[in-house]
Chain A
Amino acid sequence: MKPNNPPVIEVTFWGTRGSVSTPGRITEKYGGNTPCVSVRVDGSVIIFDAGTGIRNLGLELLGQGKDNGRPLSLHLFLSHTHWDHIQGLPFFQPIYEKATELTIYGSPKKGKFLESILKGQMDLEYFPIGLSQLEAALTIQEISSRAIRIGPMIVDWQEQHLHPGGSVRYRISIGTKRLVYATDVELDLLFDENGDPEQKKKQLNEYLDFIRGADLLIADGQYSESEYPSKKGWGHTSVPVLMALAQEAEVKQVAVFHHDPQHSDAFLDELWRKYRKDVERAGRVVTVFWAREGMTLAI
């Protein structure tokens, strides 16, 4: 890297599917693993969510660790603890290595509950190895109002109330570059006729400010417009609402994420063709795509 060049952010999708993993031929293009995204800058690694996709990330990290002989220092940020966002953790191979340091961050709203939830899914009834038996040095940390610095990355966050049980969105900043990870939120409810209009306006402005000008927004877009009415209250956003908000906030690139388990590759291709045209016609968002497992972007 030349001295004055801003560092490149490498973003890899390891799992893009929502709710439950969906292996099979009709989902192999966009992928069947549940949410996991890695972000690397100059050797620092941040991971968003520990869905089943984290298993493959673990294997790659260990392979690279063997190549360069350096211990792994990893930072895992959980959007929330619904099953599809934590289920891969027991299968994340680096946690069984002494040379790994892993810090897991999650919402302070859960209090000490975060640790007990993660312990819970590794109780003997569910898994043969307990959380306290791991070889890696593990720290579980609730996020506070202060931003967190990891290498050159600064991570801040906001609570998302529009999901059953709540969730957290994160933003990584490096110089002028911004990346936002905002999954599992039902933004359509901000435009619903029910509820306090002032409260909704406040939440909408908070969201728009948070994503404004992002170089990449990884966002929940689980439902098509026609599907949404029958899924109202399930905690996920419809694609047209996501597109409208991303355009308003002048986001440069949108990765539609948390694909519905019922959506085949052919169906997602169809959504991409339809909504991409709409967005291009409006001419404000540079790129819209449906996130694919096995895809790495350099930002």
Chain B
Amino acid sequence: MTIKAQNKIIVENSALSETLPVVVPARVYELAVDYCAYLEMRSKGEDIKRIPLDKKESIIGRASSCGIRIEAPTVSRVHAIIKYMNEEYIIEDMDSTNGTFVNGVRVKKCVLRDNDQIQVGQVSLLFVEEKVRRSW
């Protein structure tokens, strides 16, 4: 049984009646973490562009309808999709002409991890997943 007292959480458990109640500082809530992810794109003569992955699905391609629009000739109109599923980011090639690569391997689909190098056509992107602190 858990009782929330002023700035304290007291966990009581009758099975452990011979022990003292465990006192957990309420501060744990402030230490809760979450993840945010983005792509980094580097182009010649330009600053690094940061593209947030803040939607359930982000389509990469040349078409104006794409959430992540990259106007490069080697990128297909609809090239790949990044989905957020079960707390993971997954990239999937959408039958592009020049393929989708993760760390140099041509993939149909791949769960992404921090620092993965993605290549769509001849465009390189870095997948970054960061832990961020959230206060509730």
Closest Cβ–Cβ distance, residue A143 to chain B (whole Å): 29
CB neighbours of B110 from chain A (8 A) = 292, 294-296
B107 at the interface (CB under 8 A from A): yes
Q: Is B37 an interface residue (CB 8 A)?
A: no
Assembled-state Cα–Cα distance A12/B111 (Å)? 11
B50 in the interface (beta carbon within 8 A)? no
Residue from B103, B104, B107 in contact with A296 in the complex, judged by beta carbons closer than 8 Å: B107
Docked CA distance A287–B110 (Å): 16
Q: Is B69 in the interface zone, CB < 8 Å from A?
A: no
The contact string, 1 if C-beta is below 8 Å from chain B, for chain A 266-299, is 0000001000100000000001010011111110
- A297–B104 touching, CB < 8 Å: no
0/1 string, B74-110, CB within 8 A of A gives 1: 0000000000000010100100000000111111111
- In the complex the two chains form, is B106's CB within 8 Å of A292's CB? no
Interface residue? B113 (CB, 8 A) = yes
Total residues of chain B contacting the partner, CB 8 A: 14
- Which residues does chain B contribute within 8 Å of A297, judged by CB atoms? 105-108
Is A135 in the interface zone, CB < 8 Å from B?
no
16 contacts between A and B (CB under 8 A): A289-B105, A292-B110, A292-B111, A294-B88, A294-B110, A294-B111, A295-B110, A295-B111, A296-B108, A296-B109, A297-B105, A297-B107, A297-B108, A298-B106, A298-B107, A298-B108
Task: Report the minimum CB–CB distance from A36 to chain B (whole Å).
Answer: 15
Contact A289 B113 (CB under 8 A): no
Q: How far is the CA of A295 from the CA of B88 in the complex (A)?
A: 13
A289 B103 Cβ-Cβ under 8 A: yes
Which residues of B have CB within 8 Å of A298? 93, 106-108
